[in-house]
Structure formats: structure tokens, C-alpha cells
């Protein structure tokens, strides 16, 4: 009898080890997949479900085997289930059921990962350790691969093409999160290994974000670093003699001061400057009157575009330099005369016959191909992206067409989405009718955006608002808050600081992107919420 009892105990222990190894494998595969492959992300989720089944096989029922106290202590899971139930109910007033099922299928990882990881019986501390190291390795490898592929290309690589694996914006979220995680560990442990890994991720991540011109990444990197530092400083030891010398205690002030200075400089560089009368000439050497538009502020390379324009001389002189018609289109489908105007301004040339004559053959070829400014040749990465942001804002202030202008378009996206919400303020348009409702609203309002640029809100909170009404948006906000609103005296082992970092990064990304509408974004979000969201009493 005693031998039989020992055999059962040994068998039970072996079964638990197999279950843990199953969860470990799924966590490792998912962590590796996140920066690399949508297909591998699906395989990671599949392996996690298999581990869940193995858990049921060896350890007994997943749901019936838990006490009511366990279920009462998992409000995050209930909020996720409520959101999905409401989205499912939204199919009843959806006209496009196919699109509705597609939307639910895309967001399935937001349900699957938390459901499995919160109810599964796995060692959270061990899992977090595995994910931290594996995700760091995967992010570093993906950064190296992306930078190597872009640098070795013989052709000019567009900013977003520097990310060959997944969306550069989604990858930026992963970089910011894993960097802040290792920074927090370096602050807490004071171990050289953690600091070295954080340094490697920071350097490679910054290089990637620079090359891909990801403003999302450029904003999240300092915010996540500041958050990691603030979380570390929030729990200083009672005995001040035990405080570590690094990072310095006044670091928060220094970082905030640096961010404030950067914000002020950025704002100053975007502030419109209008031409003064002293810079405006009357006539060209040939006697043509210059045209000036003193109410327009657009600059190219620090020079005003809409001053000292002699259209007649420009047209005649261009015919002598190129076979492309002055009133036609350039290689990018833009108005050639506007490309010429901006390019000459960027070189600080007068917009007349002499200015066209001063262009060399390379300049003419660039203008023909659609290059609107010499800055496109001299600036790259985030610096070039900032040039574009300046142009978009000044073009909007000058009354230009916003189509294709990423930043300015977003305000029109949101404006249109609020119009949709006003027409369906209670229940929303339905889970599957978001694309149709958005397109109809653009048409009814005669939006200035061209058809190809009449897009979704690019704000996950607003997307929930128009699809399922205020309840959908409130449930999503509840999920993000519940991830961190944990009574720490009751759940002392809860990874509160990591949950804060994850919730912050996901929430900020949802302000400027439909984060949950892509596989990489929803898998990253669902994985972190499930990984960190389980509450276990010690």
C-alpha cells in the first residue's frame, strides 16, 4: 500500500513537470514568434492550448477544479469575457455578418491567451523568467536581422521596409516593453548582466526605430524608460543607507526635464512662421512680376515656398531642361510644378528662369522622379520623418489637401468616427459594420480625403466606441485598469510593476493605432495580459 502511494505521488509529480514543460514550450515559441512571424504566433497559441489540455489531463478539471474564491479573484478574466460576449451580441444588429465574424476571429488571441494563462496551472515566476530572456533574445535578433537586411540592400530602402518581419509600429511596442522590463530589473538588482542586456536592447531598438522612422517608438522608448525608473523609485527602502547609488535619486527630474526640453524644441520647430515683406522681390531680371502668398507658412529646408514665384519663367525654363510637361505629373503622380517649386525652395533658389538653370542634371532627374526636397537625399530615418511631419502641418495650415499625410489624416479619421458615433450613440453600428459605416460617413460629409485614404479611426478606444457603443470602450478600459488595480497586500506575488509597464504601453498604442485589429498587435496585447494578469494568493 505504501509503495502504491509512493508510485502515485511520483506519477503526479512527473505529470506536473510535463504540464509545466508544455507551458514553457508554448511561452518560448510565442515569445520568439512575436517580433518575427504571424504564422509562428498562431503556432505558439496552438501549443498553449495543447499545454492547457495536458493540464486538464494530468491535473483534473480546469474550471470545476477551482474554488469560488479563485474565480472571484480574477476580475480581469471576467472583463475580457464580458467584452467578447458583448462583441458577440453585437452581431445581432450587424448587417455584414461575414465582417463581424472576421473581426471576432482577429481579436481571438485577446480571449485565448488570458483564458488559458489565467486558468492554467503553471509556475508564473518561472514563466516570466523564460519570457523575459526569450523575448529579449528574439527582439535583439529581429533588430539585427532588420538592420542587416536594410543596410545590405543595394536599392534605397523606404523607412517602413526596414522592418521585414512584422509591422514596424507593432515591433516598436515590443522593443519598448522588453527594454523597460530589463531596465527595471537592472535598477532593482544592480546586476551588470541586466544592465548589459538593457543597453543592447536600447541601442539596437533605438537604431531600428530611427531607421523605420517610427514616431510611436520614439515616444514610447523614453516614456517606458521613465516609467521603469519611476516604478523602481516608488519603493525605496525604509533605511536610506540601503539605497543603491545607481540610478541617481534625482534621475526622474533629469529625465522629465530632458523630455520637456525636447517637447519644447519640437513645438518650436512646428510653429508656423510667415514671410516678411523684406524677403519679397518685385520682378525678375526679365521683368516678370513675382507672385507672393504671405498668408502661407510652408517651409522647405528653412525657406518659404510661397514667395518669389515666377510661374511663366518656371514653365518656359523647365521645357528646356525636361521632356516632362510642366503642368503634368511627376514619377510619383504628384503635380510636377509643385515638386519643382518645393525642390528649388529647398536649395534656396529663386523660383525663376535663373533658378531652373542652376539645377544640375541630378536635380532635374530627382524632380522628374517625384523627389520634392533635397532633404529627402540628405536626411533619413526619424529626421526625415520629422521633415514630413512639419510639411504635413504647414500644408494643412495653408489649406492643402490632407490626403496621404499620416499625422493630419488622423484628425480627420477621428472626426469622421465621432460622426459615426453620434448616429449610433448607444449600441454602436455592430461588430461587423465598422468599415461600411465609416465609408458611408466619409461620403455623406464630402470628406476632403481621397478614397484611398478614407480609413479607420486609428484609435482602438474609438473603434470599440463605434462598433459596440460606450459599453465596449468601457470594458476595454476596464481590462487595462484591472490589469494594474490589484490589492497588493492580498496578492503580494502579483507582478504589479510589469503589469503597469504593459498596461501603459498597450494603452498608449491604442491612442494612435487600432492595436487590436492586427494579429501582431492583438497577440502581443493578449499575451501580456494573460501572462501578467493571473491573481494568486500566496
Residue 298 within a domain: yes
How do residues 211-225 score in pLDDT, each as one tens digit?
A: 999 999 999 999 999
Position 29 pLDDT exceeds 60: yes
Q: What is the mean pLDDT of residues 48-75?
A: 89
Looking at 316, 351, 378, which one is the last position of a domain?
A: 378
pLDDT value, residue 469: 96
Cα–Cα separations (whole angstroms), residue 517 to 218, 466, 503: 22, 14, 17
At which of 378, 412, 427 does a domain end?
Answer: 378
Higher pLDDT, 490 or 251: 490
Taking the C-alpha atoms of residue 434 and residue 289, their distance in angstroms, rounded to an integer, is: 52
Give the burial string for 26-43 (b: 16+ CB within 10 Å, else e).
Answer: bbbbbbbbbbbbeeebee
User: Is residue 392 a part of any domain in this protein?
Assistant: no
pLDDT in the model for residue 260: 86
Which runs of consecutive H residues, i.e. helices, occur in 60-123? 68-72, 75-89, 97-106, 108-119
- Both 282 and 261 in one domain: the answer is no
- pLDDT tens string 440-483: 999 999 999 999 999 999 999 999 999 999 999 999 999 999 99
Q: What angle do CA 445, 447, 448 make, to 5 degrees?
A: 150
Tell me, yes or no, whether 442 lies in a domain.
no
Asked if pLDDT for residue 239 goes beyond 50, the answer is no
- Tally the domains of the chain: 2
Residue 125 has pLDDT above 70, yes or no: yes
Lowest mean pLDDT among 188-197, 230-239, 484-493: 230-239
Are 458 and 484 within one domain? Answer: yes
**Per-residue confidence at 500, pLDDT binned at 50, 70, 90?**
very high
- Residues 355 and 458 placed together within one structural domain of the fold: no
> For residue 10, is pLDDT > 60?
no
On the question of pLDDT at 238 being above 50, the answer is no
Instruction: Report the pLDDT value the prediction gives residue 160, as an integer from 0 to 100.
Output: 84
- What is the mean pLDDT of the segment spanning 515-536? 95
**Is 415 among the domain residues?**
no
CB distance 482 to 532 below 8 Å: no
Note whether residue 420 is domain-resident.
Answer: no
Q: Provide the pLDDT confidence category of residue 382 given band limits of 50, 70 and 90.
A: very high
Q: In 3D, which of 339, 453, 344 has the Cα closest to residue 405?
A: 453
Q: Domain check: are 462 and 508 in the same one? A: yes
161 contact partners, CB below 8 Å, separation of at least 6 = 150
pLDDT score of 141 more than 50: yes
Q: What is the tens place of the pLDDT at every residue in 385-415? A: 999 999 999 999 999 989 988 889 999 999 9
SS3 assignment, position 329: strand
Whether residue 212 sits in one domain with residue 335: no
Report helix, strand or coil for 306: coil
Residue 154 sits in the same domain as residue 68: yes
Between 277 and 227, the more confident residue is: 227
pLDDT of residue 395: 94
Would residue 111 count as lying in a domain? Answer: yes
Q: What is the mean pLDDT of residues 495-518?
A: 95
Per-residue 3-state assignment (H helix, E strand, C coil) for 390-432? HHHHHHHHCCCCCCCCHHHHHHHHHHHHHHHHHHCCCCCCCCC
3-state helix, strand, coil in the chain (%, to 5): 70, 0, 30
What angle do the packed helices 75-89 and 519-533 form, to 10 degrees?
150
Q: Which of 355, 378, 401 delimits the end of a domain? A: 378
Task: Confirm whether 425 is domain-assigned.
Answer: no
Work out the widest C-alpha separation in the chain, in whole angstroms.
114
Residue 7 pLDDT greater than 60, yes or no: no
**% of the chain beyond a pLDDT of 70:** 94
Claim to verify: residue 257 and residue 295 sit in the same structural domain:
no
Quote the crossing angle between the two packed helices 124-152 and 192-212, to the nearest 10°.
40
Same domain (yes/no): 347, 253: no
The SS3 call for residue 64 is coil
189 and 215 Cβ atoms separated by less than 8 Å: no
Give the pLDDT score at 350: 92
The Cα–Cα gap between 52 and 212 comes to 38
- Inter-residue contact 510 to 220 (CB < 8 Å): no
Same domain, 319 and 284: yes
pLDDT in tens, 266-312: 889 999 999 988 888 999 999 999 999 999 999 999 999 999 999 99
Mean pLDDT of all residues in 15-41: 94
pLDDT at 532 > cutoff 70: yes
For residue 5, what pLDDT is reported? 46
Task: Please give the pLDDT value at position 1.
Answer: 47
In a domain, 141, yes or no: yes
Helix (H, G, I), strand (E, B) or coil at 145: helix
Q: Are residues 481 and 345 in the same domain?
A: no
466 and 361 within one domain? no
pLDDT per residue over 151-178, tens digit each? 988 887 888 889 999 999 999 999 999 9
Q: Which domain holds residue 298?
A: 277-378
Residues 231 and 290 in one domain: no
Q: Are 38 and 520 spatial neighbours (Cβ–Cβ below 8 Å)?
A: yes
Is pTM beyond 0.75? Reply is yes
State residue 154's pLDDT score: 82
Task: Inform me whether the pLDDT recorded for 497 exceeds 90.
Answer: yes
Query: Taking all residues of the chain, what is their mean pLDDT, rounded to a whole number?
Result: 91
Q: Is the pLDDT of residue 524 over 50?
A: yes
pLDDT value at residue 244: 57
Amino acid at each position: 500500500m505504501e509503495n502504491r502511494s509512493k508510485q502515485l505521488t511520483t506519477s503526479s509529480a512527473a505529470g506536473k513537470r510535463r504540464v509545466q514543460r508544455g507551458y514553457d514550450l508554448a511561452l518560448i515559441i510565442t515569445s520568439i514568434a512575436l517580433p518575427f512571424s504571424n504564422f509562428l504566433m498562431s503556432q505558439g497559441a496552438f501549443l498553449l492550448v495543447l499545454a492547457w489540455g495536458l493540464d486538464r489531463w494530468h491535473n483534473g478539471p480546469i474550471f470545476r477544479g477551482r474554488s469560488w474564491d479563485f474565480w472571484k479573484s480574477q476580475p480581469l478574466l471576467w472583463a475580457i469575457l464580458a467584452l467578447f460576449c458583448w462583441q458577440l451580441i453585437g452581431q445581432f444588429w450587424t448587417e455584414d455578418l461575414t465582417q463581424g465574424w472576421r473581426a471576432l476571429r482577429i481579436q481571438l488571441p485577446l480571449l485565448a491567451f488570458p483564458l488559458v494563462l489565467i486558468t492554467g496551472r503553471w509556475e508564473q515566476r518561472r514563466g516570466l523568467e523564460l519570457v523575459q530572456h526569450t523575448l529579449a533574445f528574439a527582439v535583439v535578433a529581429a533588430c539585427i536581422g532588420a538592420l542587416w537586411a536594410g543596410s545590405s540592400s543595394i536599392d534605397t530602402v523606404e523607412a517602413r521596409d526596414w522592418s521585414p518581419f512584422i509591422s514596424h509600429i507593432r515591433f516598436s511596442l515590443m522593443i519598448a516593453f522588453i527594454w523597460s522590463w530589463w531596465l527595471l530589473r537592472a535598477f532593482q538588482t544592480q546586476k551588470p548582466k541586466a544592465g548589459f542586456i538593457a543597453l543592447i536592447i536600447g541601442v539596437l531598438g533605438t537604431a531600428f526605430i530611427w531607421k523605420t522612422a517610427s514616431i510611436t517608438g520614439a515616444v514610447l522608448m523614453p516614456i517606458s524608460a521613465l516609467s521603469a525608473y519611476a516604478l523602481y523609485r516608488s519603493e525605496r527602502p525604509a533605511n536610506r543607507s540601503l539605497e543603491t547609488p545607481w540610478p541617481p535619486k534625482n534621475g526622474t527630474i533629469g529625465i522629465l526635464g530632458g523630455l520637456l526640453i525636447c517637447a519644447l524644441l519640437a513645438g518650436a520647430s512646428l510653429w508656423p512662421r510667415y514671410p516678411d515683406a523684406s524677403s519679397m522681390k518685385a520682378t525678375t531680371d526679365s521683368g516678370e512680376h513675382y507672385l507672393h502668398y504671405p498668408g502661407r507658412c510652408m517651409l522647405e529646408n528653412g525657406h518659404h515656398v510661397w514667395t518669389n514665384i515666377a510661374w511663366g519663367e518656371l514653365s518656359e525654363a523647365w521645357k528646356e531642361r525636361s521632356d516632362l510637361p510642366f503642368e503634368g505629373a511627376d514619377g510619383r503622380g504628384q503635380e510636377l510644378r509643385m515638386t519643382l517649386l518645393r525642390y528649388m525652395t529647398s536649395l534656396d533658389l529663386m523660383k525663376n528662369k535663373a533658378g531652373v538653370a542652376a539645377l544640375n542634371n541630378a536635380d532635374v532627374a530627382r524632380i522628374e522622379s517625384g523627389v520634392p526636397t533635397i532633404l529627402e537625399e540628405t536626411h533619413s530615418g526619424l529626421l526625415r520623418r520629422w521633415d514630413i511631419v512639419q510639411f504635413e502641418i504647414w500644408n494643412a495650415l495653408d489649406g492643402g489637401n490632407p490626403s496621404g499625410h499620416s499625422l493630419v489624416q488622423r484628425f480627420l479619421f477621428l472626426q469622421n468616427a465621432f460622426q459615426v458615433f453620434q448616429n449610433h450613440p448607444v449600441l454602436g453600428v455592430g461588430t461587423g459594420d465598422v468599415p461600411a459605416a465609416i465609408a458611408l460617413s466619409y461620403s455623406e460629409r464630402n470628406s476632403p480625403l481621397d478614397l484611398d485614404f478614407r480609413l479607420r479611426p486609428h484609435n482602438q478606444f474609438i473603434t470599440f466606441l463605434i462598433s459596440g457603443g460606450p459599453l465596449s470602450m468601457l470594458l476595454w478600459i476596464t481590462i487595462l485598469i484591472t490589469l494594474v488595480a490589484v490589492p497588493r497586500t492580498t496578492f503580494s506575488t502579483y507582478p504589479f510593476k510589469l503589469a503597469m509597464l504593459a498596461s501603459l504601453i498597450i494603452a498608449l498604442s491604442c491612442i494612435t493605432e487600432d492595436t487590436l485589429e492586427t494579429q501582431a498587435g492583438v497577440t502581443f496585447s493578449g499575451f501580456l495580459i494573460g501572462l501578467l494578469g493571473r491573481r494568486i494568493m500566496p
